[in-house]
Amino acid sequence: MKLAVAALLVGSAAAFAPVAFNPRQSSSLSAELLSKQTGISSLDPSVIASYASLGLPADKILAEYVWVDAEGGTRSKTRTLPAAKGESVDKLPKWNFDGSSTGQAPGDDSEVILRPVRIFRDPFRPRSDGVDNILVMCDCYTPAGDAIESNTRAVAESQFEGKEDEVCWFGLEQEFTLFNLDEVTPLGWPKGGMPSRPQGPYYCSVGPENNFGRQITESLYRACLYAGIEISGTNGEVMPGQQEYQVGPCVGIDAGDQLMMSRYILQRVCEDFQVYCTLHPKPIVDGDWNGAGMHTNVSTKAMREEGGLKDIKEAIYKLGAKHAEHIAVYGEGNELRLTGKFETASVDEFCYGVANRGASIRIGRDTEAEGKGYFEDRRPSSNADPYVVCGKIFDTITEDVEVPVIEPMNKEEA
Ligand code: ADP
Ligand code: MN
Ligand code: MN
Ligand code: MN
């Protein structure tokens, strides 16, 4: 079966144009057989299952402490704790890691302190005795108690602090792109080539010729629900090999905690499937392929109440006045994605519109019709830091300033 697939790909490779550019480095790993759905895991599931079935002492839990590293990715390590400590985040002890190994501390003072901020159930270590092993989201401090540079959560926390009455909801759409382990060939693409059909059939697709990586998204979905993450949906995306899930609505800083943990879970799932996942905003630059974003849907309490459209528009004017400031923190490489093509607005211009997917900010038709609801900031890239994005948006829209009115650019007029 696998050989037949390989032969098919080799046989048809000449028909595809070569990929001239890919922003990531090719690694030495190579997957010779290109599966359209998953990589090739060398792990025998029955062997793993036999270890996983071993019972754990009822008075102990495994706690996986997760933190954000210097590149905005996640890292983790495990410790055994008395089960009672896992009942609430305040009962969990602080911990530490060697920051000199992650580029987060100098070698001569390498200890970084992990402060637990949020508990999730661990979907990778389920147990049947009614006790939960846990994933613990942490943020990072120096031994003296100062937030380290990569701790963007601490900044966001201060931005939200004292303004709890706003009850700001965030719904984050996380797009991601799956590759074979060669890190060059997106899932479903022929090695060294491109799909023979252009974009069109892949978005929200079904069928083996259209949807690549569904099992990864499905597994992520289950794992997130099990963990207690408010994952609100998933869909196949426009570029073959690209997928999306949404987290939210979550209130304030919790949006950052939940999205970061969902990214950790995504990486763990991809590890199991042996598929490389990137959050790069423009994984394939050559050709007509969509980039990947982290559309950020936002509403304050006032926006969700009668007449809230007025508040939404005021927030949009404030965001327009600080366009460049926002773009600067909306993700690395985002300028490759925000070209004004492929359902994006240009990185240099701010515009908004009703139902306009070519705008920086979109107001949904329902929100306009009901005169209340939420808006969607379409600018953040898939690799953007959710703490930075949510904190920055909140800071800008709750600022007490007068800003000029901006005229909408609706689809009909565009
Ligand atoms: P799109 O139509 O842009 O693809 P999605 O359905 O993918 O939108 O994502 C919309 C996200 O917005 C979901 O996570 C949803 O839970 C969230 N959302 C819904 N209502 C609100 C609201 N009032 N405030 C903030 N986020 C919201
Ligand atoms: Mn979406
Ligand atoms: Mn999308
Ligand atoms: Mn969207």
| Domain boundaries, given as residue ranges, for the chain | 3-52, 60-150, 164-397
The model's pLDDT over 139-155, given as tens digits with 9 standing for 90+, comes to 999 999 999 999 999 99
Around ion ligand 2, residues with a beta carbon closer than 5 Å are 173
Pairing type for strands 134-141 and 60-68 reads parallel
| Max Cα–Cα distance, the chain, nearest Å | 66
The model's confidence at residue 374, banded by pLDDT at 50, 70 and 90, is: very high
Contact 368, 309 (CB under 8 A): yes
* Nearest CA, atom 4, ligand 1: 173
C-alpha 161 – ligand 3 centre gap (Å): 30
> Among all ligands shown, which has an atom nearest to the Cα of 355?
1
Q: How large is the average pLDDT for residues 151-180?
A: 98
**Is the CB of 268 within 6 Å of ligand 1?**
no
Domain 164-397, classified CATH 3.40.50.170, yes or no: no
Q: Which of 168, 221, 246, 375 to mutate to test the pocket of ligand 1 (most atoms within 8 A of CB)?
A: 246
C-alpha 204 – ligand 4 centre gap (Å): 13
**Is the CB of 308 within 6 Å of ligand 1?**
no
The model's pLDDT over 8-39, given as tens digits with 9 standing for 90+, comes to 333 233 333 334 334 444 444 444 456 677 66
C-alpha 301 – ligand 4 centre gap (Å): 21
pTM of the entire predicted model = 0.91
Higher pLDDT pick, 346 / 160: 160
> Among all ligands shown, which has an atom nearest to the Cα of 293?
3
**Is the CB of 304 within 6 Å of ligand 1?**
yes
The whole-number pLDDT of residue 235 equals 97
**Is the CB of 248 within 6 Å of ligand 1?**
yes
Ligand 1 atom closest to 357 (CA) = 3
The model's pLDDT over 260-293, given as tens digits with 9 standing for 90+, comes to 999 999 999 999 999 999 999 999 999 999 999 9
**Is the CB of 171 within 6 Å of ligand 1?**
yes
Return the bridge partners of 413, or none: none
**Is the CB of 246 within 6 Å of ligand 1?**
yes
What's the start-to-end Cα distance of the chain, in Å? 50
CA dihedral over 78, 83, 89, 91, signed as positive or negative = negative
- Fold of the domain built from segment(s) 60-150: Ubiquitin-like (UB roll) (3.10.20)
C-alpha 192 – ligand 3 centre gap (Å): 26
The whole-number pLDDT of residue 411 equals 59
pLDDT at 332 over 50: yes
The model's confidence at residue 42, banded by pLDDT at 50, 70 and 90, is: low
C-alpha 376 – ligand 4 centre gap (Å): 7
The model's pLDDT over 344-373, given as tens digits with 9 standing for 90+, comes to 888 999 999 998 888 999 999 999 999 999
The whole-number pLDDT of residue 48 equals 83
C-alpha 297 – ligand 1 centre gap (Å): 6
Could you tell me the two tokens for 178? 């799956």
Q: How far apart are CA 224 and CA 218, in angstroms?
A: 10
**Is the CB of 257 within 6 Å of ligand 1?**
no
Around ion ligand 3, residues with a beta carbon closer than 5 Å are 244
